[in-house]
Amino acid sequence: MSLMRKMLLAASTNAWLRDRATKTAFVRRSVSRFMPGEQVDDALRAAAELNLHGITTILTKLGENLMRVEEAEQVTLHYLDVLDRISATGVEAQISVKPTQLGLDLDRALCERNLDRLIARAEQRNNFVWIDMEASTYVDATLDLFRRSRAKTARIGIALQAYLYRTEKDVESLVPLGAAIRIVKGAYLEPPDVAFPKKSDVDANYYKLCTRLLAPDARKPGALLHIATHDIPLAGRLADYITQHKVPASAYEFAMLYGIQRNQQERLAREGKRLRVLISYGEYWFPWYMRRLAERPANVWFVVRTMFG
Ligand SMILES: Cc1cc2nc3c(=O)[nH]c(=O)nc-3n(C[C@H](O)[C@H](O)[C@H](O)COP(=O)(O)OP(=O)(O)OC[C@H]3O[C@@H](n4cnc5c(N)ncnc54)[C@H](O)[C@@H]3O)c2cc1C
């Protein structure tokens, strides 16, 4: 892992930096590249705009590791309202939540109850809830949450990270369920005893996990693979695999983040591929933004250029 990536990921959890950076005009300006705005209305507008180009979306409110039960309640009420508003406006959007936003650090039972409320509303509104994967210490609890919810509804999916050694086994354990799974490379700072330190190993594992989930025996009712990456050569190799193995279009979607590889997003849509763009919004953007910078050191130069006008 590069030194720059390590430094940015370490900075993502620094409260002193967060308090200063979020008040700095040039940082706020550079964040707007990855985020249409801080309010859900900004995200809904961006989603409607993408829908016009044949691109579907996922909305996620930024914020993690909440410290108070009332905050988890507010987040849950917020997402319930978002599900209602998506339904009322007819925008093609799902939602994605972090377990620690729903209170996982505070009380596991509370987090489960909050997630239950969201999946019940998603059932009513004909929608879908994704569970983000956070740092490796949360994987067991997040998988438990997912399995519990999947027993009640197929309107739920989970993100799994290709950089973790354990993910191959986790994928195998979820195949019999017919799970909707978003494969990502992984965005957190993890030690070498839990995650591949070399990018080439992460990329190789990513391909392996996706092809496993595209195999005929993994195609069960409710199963769906999200190929969530901006790595165009890797996505291209998976597209070749899909063509060669005649994988049905209903088995997978591509997924990318708002503002990243926009020209590639448009290309996929033009080619008639199913693409979902994850749109983040909210005031608590600092750790998330640091993770986006860490993914591509050139982004830091973009911030510096913004600073000088
Ligand atoms: C839909 C979606 C959901 C996600 N959910 C989660 C989650 O739940 N948990 C989690 O840990 N991670 C999540 N991630 C983030 C993911 O783990 C990676 O950190 C991120 O996607 C970068 O990896 P990559 O696959 O794009 O490949 P990389 O090899 O990192 O990047 C490939 C190329 O894409 C471009 N690129 C990548 N990132 C950026 C960027 N920030 N700015 C500009 N260009 C960039 C660059 O050209 C780069 O060379 C999600 C990503 C997506 C797309």
Known active-site residue 107? no
Nearest ligand 1 atom, CA 163: 17
With a 6 Å cutoff on the Cβ, whether 187 touches ligand 1 is yes
Phi and psi torsions of 118, nearest 5°:
-70, -40
The tokens for 54 are 């044949």
pLDDT of amino acid 5 = 82
Nearest ligand 1 atom, CA 96: 8
Total number of residues shown for the chain:
309
With a 6 Å cutoff on the Cβ, whether 35 touches ligand 1 is no
Ramachandran sector of residue 3 (left: φ over 0; alpha: ψ -120 to 50; beta: rest): alpha
User: If you take atom 33 of ligand 1, which residue's CA is the nearest one?
Assistant: 231
* 3-state SS assignment for residue 257: strand
Nearest one of 168, 207, 202, 161 to 183, comparing CA atoms: 161
pLDDT of amino acid 142 = 98
The identity of residue 256, as a single letter, is M
Q: Which residues of the chain have pLDDT under 50?
A: none
Could you report the per-residue pLDDT of 206-249, keeping only the tens digit for each?
999 999 999 999 998 889 999 999 999 999 999 999 999 999 99
Q: How far is CA 139 from CA 15, 124, 159, 173, 275, in A?
A: 24, 28, 10, 14, 26
Nearest ligand 1 atom, CA 226: 1
Q: How far is CA 117 from CA 70, 81, 129, 134, in A?
A: 16, 12, 11, 21
User: If you take atom 17 of ligand 1, which residue's CA is the nearest one?
Assistant: 186
Nearest one of 289, 284, 253 to 57, comparing CA atoms: 253
With a 6 Å cutoff on the Cβ, whether 260 touches ligand 1 is yes
pTM above 0.85, yes or no: yes
Q: What percent of the chain has pLDDT over 90?
A: 75
pLDDT of amino acid 130 = 98
Residues contacting 236, CB < 8 A, separation 6+: none
Q: What gap in Å lies between CA 99 and CA 89, rounded to an integer?
A: 27
With a 6 Å cutoff on the Cβ, whether 296 touches ligand 1 is yes
* 3-state SS assignment for residue 94: strand
pLDDT of amino acid 98 = 96
Span from the CA of 109 to the centroid of ligand 1 (angstroms):
31
Give bridge partners of residue 94 from the DSSP assignment.
58
pLDDT of amino acid 196 = 97
Span from the CA of 29 to the centroid of ligand 1 (angstroms):
21
